[in-house]
Amino acid sequence: MLFSVCLMILVSNAAAAIQDLSGKMFVFPQQTKTAYAKLTPSKTSFSAITVCHRSLTDLKRDHVLFSMSTSTNSNEFLVFYKFTANEIQPHIKTGLASYGGLDYKLNTWHSICTTWDSTVGLVQLWFNGQQLTKKYITPGTGVSTTPSIILGQEQDSHGGSFDINQSFVGMMTDVHMWDYVLSACEIQKYVSELSFTPGNVLNWAALDFLIRDRVLIENKQLYCQ
């Protein structure tokens, strides 16, 4: 107990450090507006983006899955779950696309990939490997100012203004981000947990991050080996 408390304090006070989180997950164990993981991307300007993650929750309310803000747009690139509509909504800048009719079961791991190409203005969601419709959203400009990427909380301003009722409670793993639209083949490899090209912007196996408040790093292994 004492050890884990010490470890937690060490982790919370640590400066950003690069870690290989392969086989591990972030646990967000309670509803707060203070606990989060802040990820430092290796690039800060983009004309296209793919973000993939796996998450598990039993929340019966709206919640954030991935929040990237800039000083211009608090929802520069946001993946949000809207409970009443049962929709996953990628928000890009001031636009959003809605993906409904999904089997977003509670207490089940879901692999979610979101792609965006700013030149044509198309967004696409892949839900557990299922290809969903490409939709038109905010074309023209990419991302050119330094982003703030946060897991666990939704940024209503650049780097802050969290809403406890949009916080994520549950587990999250295998967060990757690329500065291009991943091919269908690469997405299937990611979903199937086969060997895939790791994110060149965020790589779960070499993640530059820091944790604030109660976010724990645990093994995600479910079975004996």
Q: What are the residues binding ligand NAG (CB under 6 A)?
A: 164-165
CB of 164: closest distance to ligand NAG in angstroms? 5
CB of 26: closest distance to ligand NAG in angstroms? 23
Q: Are 52 and 112 in contact (CB under 8 A)?
A: yes
Residue nearest to ligand NAG (CB): 165
* Measured CA angle at 186 (ends 182, 189), to 5 deg: 145
The smaller minimum CB distance to ligand NAG, of residues 154 and 179, is found at 154
The smaller minimum CB distance to ligand NAG, of residues 85 and 164, is found at 164
Q: Are 116 and 91 in contact (CB under 8 A)?
A: no
Residues in CB range of 122: below 8 A, 6 or more apart: 116, 134, 135, 136, 137
181: nearest Cα among 93, 133, 129, 118: 118
The smaller minimum CB distance to ligand NAG, of residues 6 and 164, is found at 164
Phi–psi pair at 164, nearest 5 degrees: -55, -30
Residues in CB range of 155: below 8 A, 6 or more apart: 67, 69, 74, 75, 148, 161, 162
CB of 69: closest distance to ligand NAG in angstroms? 19
CB of 163: closest distance to ligand NAG in angstroms? 6
CB of 48: closest distance to ligand NAG in angstroms? 34
The smaller minimum CB distance to ligand NAG, of residues 208 and 213, is found at 213
The smaller minimum CB distance to ligand NAG, of residues 74 and 173, is found at 74
